[in-house]
Amino acid sequence: MDFAVHEMDFAAQAYWHHFRYHIGEMIGLDRKKREVEFAPYLDNQGREVVRRRLFRYDTLIIAIGSHGNDFGTPGVREHAILLDTTDEAKRFHERLLNSLLRAQAQSELLKPEQMNVAIIGAGATGTELAAELRSATRQLVA
């Protein structure tokens, strides 16, 4: 949900795997000159962190994201929370935390159907979510 949390991970991956990572919005691409132009990168107060810049490239990889696919699974449109936007991710996060708080506050034992999460998808987002939920579950139990 917070891009800044992963920013250093991306920089570390770039270092370890011998590529250059540049944060920011691409505002220009000249394929003949093999150049990419980035807008200034601003913090959440609107202050410039990194100025507008131009980079030459040998191999360009543009990671623009994707949109969820429900694979026609019945009930998804009515009950699922997709993770295509920050608002959807926040909604999922809030719903998960509220479920955990309800479970913690109740006097009776947790019912098996109280805390089920089904992840529909085969991509990186679902895989990352599964790993994060597993990690969170282990921390909560501890």
Asked if residue 61 is part of any domain, the answer here is no
Structurally, how many domains does the chain consist of?
Answer: 2
Q: Is residue 51 a part of any domain in this protein?
A: yes
Contact 42, 49 (CB under 8 A): yes
- pLDDT by residue (tens digit) across 27-86? 999 999 999 999 999 988 999 999 999 999 998 877 666 777 777 888 888 888 888 888
Its pTM stands at: 0.52
User: What is the 8-class DSSP label of residue 33?
Assistant: T
Would you say residue 1 has pLDDT above 50?
no
Identify whether 41 is part of a domain: yes
* Predicted pLDDT at 82: 85
Asked whether residue 87 is assigned to any structural domain, the reply reads: yes
The residue segments making up the domain with residue 15 are: 3-56
Whether residue 52 is found in the same domain as residue 80: no
pLDDT surpasses 60 at 4: no
Residue 16 within a domain: yes
Shared domain for 84 and 122, answered yes or no, is yes
